[in-house]
Amino acid sequence: MAHNKELQELASQLRQPQGDNGVKVAEMMNETNINMTLHSIKRLDLQDGELILELGHGNCGHLAQLLEQKKNLSYYGLEMSVLMQEEAQRLNSQFLDNEQASFYLYDGVHIPFEDNFFDKVFTVNTVYFWDDPRALLAELYRVIKPGGVLNITYAQGDFMKQLPFVEFGFTLYDDEKIKKIFDNTAFHPRGIETQTETVKSKTGETVDRTFTTITMKKK
- Residue-wise pLDDT for 66-86, tens only, equals 999 999 999 999 999 999 999
pLDDT computed for residue 32 by the predictor: 86
- Residue-wise pLDDT for 108-119, tens only, equals 999 999 999 999
Average pLDDT over residues 43-59: 97
- Residue-wise pLDDT for 133-163, tens only, equals 999 999 999 999 999 999 999 999 999 998 8
pTM above 0.95, yes or no: no
CATH number at residue 157: 3.40.50.150
Pairwise pLDDT comparison (208 vs 17), residue with the higher score: 208
Count of structural domains, the chain: 1
- DSSP β-bridge partners for residue 200: 206
Q: Is residue 11's pLDDT more than 90?
A: no
Of the listed ranges 7-21, 158-172, 201-215, the one predicted with least confidence:
7-21
Q: Is residue 28's pLDDT more than 70?
A: yes
163 alpha-carbon distance from chain centroid: 19
Q: Is residue 1's pLDDT more than 60?
A: no
Average pLDDT value over all residues in the chain = 92
Distances (CA, A) of 81 to 75, 88, 219: 18, 11, 32
pLDDT computed for residue 202 by the predictor: 64
Residue 140 CA to residue 142 CA, distance in Å, equals 5
Pairwise pLDDT comparison (204 vs 39), residue with the higher score: 39
- The letter for the amino acid at 115 is D
Distances (CA, A) of 167 to 7, 116, 160, 172, 173: 9, 37, 10, 10, 13
Q: Quote the domain boundaries for residue 63.
A: 4-217
Residue 75's nearest CA partner among 56, 50, 98, 108 is 50
pLDDT computed for residue 197 by the predictor: 95
pLDDT computed for residue 2 by the predictor: 52
